[in-house]
Amino acid sequence: MAQKFSTPEPKMDMTPMIDVTFQLIIFLMLLANFSIENITLELASMKTAEEDEGTAEGGWVAISITRNGDIFLNRTRMGPGNEERTWRRFFGELEEFARQGGQDEKGLSRVRAKLRPDLGSKWCYLQMVQFCLSQAKIYRLQITANMPYEWEEDVN
């Protein structure tokens, strides 16, 4: 009589895989930057790029980027966005506003920024403004959209 040999079914121990998964989750949680909760993003429509004049005492600054690339800070033209001196001047003014506005308990500026790019303004200028704001420790940012007058008739 022939003997029947049964092959044992392979068993897979899931414990090491679960351990690695939890370690990966913990590692990613420790790496995550939670400072994003300080950023306020509100989209609204404004008629002109230079409509408001902000003050550090009022708690906010108005930043405008025109279609042709000019940078404005509280109605003051900083210069064209493609020149380094424009950004140096812009950053110096932002630091002054941040200093005047004071800091909260986390060391961040209390000043808020309203960024108003015109339709057709270059994306790299928006990125540069955001970089300058972060370097001045101004993390409270509102972005508004400037709609051309001829488009308002189509929307309404």
User: Cβ contacts of residue 114 below 8 Å, gap of 6+?
Assistant: 52, 54, 60, 61, 62, 63, 142, 143, 144
The whole-number pLDDT of residue 45 equals 45
- Residue 133 CA: distances (Å) to CA of 13, 28, 44, 46: 51, 27, 20, 21
pLDDT tens by residue, 30-44: 877 655 555 554 444
Type of residue found at 130: Q
Does position 114 have pLDDT exceeding 80, yes or no?
yes
pLDDT tens by residue, 5-16: 777 788 888 888
Look up the pTM and report it: 0.57
Average confidence (pLDDT) over 112-138: 85
Average confidence (pLDDT) over 51-57: 49
More confident: 66 or 21: 21
CB of 151 closer than 8 Å to CB of 110: no
The whole-number pLDDT of residue 49 equals 44
Give me the long-range contacts of 53-56 (CB less than 8 A, separation at least 24): 54/114, 56/96, 56/97, 56/98, 56/100, 56/101, 56/111
More confident: 108 or 57: 108
